Amino acid sequence: MLQIQHLSKRYGDRPVLQDLNLTIQPSEIYGLLGPNGAGKTTTINIICNLLQADSGVVKIGGRKVSEMTKKLIGVAPQENLLYRSLTCAENLNFFAQIYGLSRKQRQQQVKDCLKAVNLSDRANSSVETLSGGMQRRLSMAIASSTVPNW
């Protein structure tokens, strides 16, 4: 579970986040939408422990955000970060390996993630042959493939 309580952040005199509260349960998927300057990237950077909040608390799985909680987070950035010459399965396997999943865990994660985004039939297709929407779904699968089951 992700819990954000009374999160605030300023850049100089400009407030970016003011008393943000949010709870996301395990297995829920959320997107942050809003205009430029609304604090979306700042919030993600704080959750990922890349930026310190001025005040408030962020907990992941009941633990305060730290280096140890980074591995519990999957992020799909605005731009797809896919290796176009690799297949869907190879992309998933590559990123899961970076995050330290064992061979057995990776094999299962690849299957589960492709199924979750309705791309099982495209496991051996190179990314360059996928539509934009399929590439976006693969990016979502990659974000979730790096996160162990809680």
- Please, what are the averages of pLDDT over each run of 10 residues along the chain (150 residues)? 96 95 88 90 93 96 88 78 95 88 90 95 97 94 69
CA dist 82 and 59 (Å) reads 29
Is the Cβ–Cβ distance between 44 and 11 less than 8 Å? no
> What 3-state class would DSSP assign to 137?
helix
CA–CA separation, 53 and 108 (whole Å): 36
What pLDDT is stored for residue 147 in this prediction?
A: 63
Q: Please indicate, yes or no, whether residues 61 and 16 belong to a single structural domain of this protein.
A: yes
Q: Which of residues 37, 72, 107 is at a domain's end?
A: 72
* Sign of the four-CA dihedral 121, 124, 125, 127: positive
Are the CB atoms for 20 and 39 separated by under 8 Å?
Answer: yes
Q: Cα separation of 129 and 127, whole Å?
A: 5
Shared-domain flag, residues 101 and 135: yes
Q: Are residues 107 and 135 in the same domain?
A: yes
Query: How much is the pLDDT for 150?
Result: 37
- What pTM, to 2 d.p., does this model score? 0.70
| Residue 79 to residue 33: CA distance in whole angstroms | 15
Do 55 and 7 fall into the same domain? yes
Q: Which domain holds residue 116?
A: 88-145
Indicate the residue among 72, 99, 121 that finishes a domain.
72
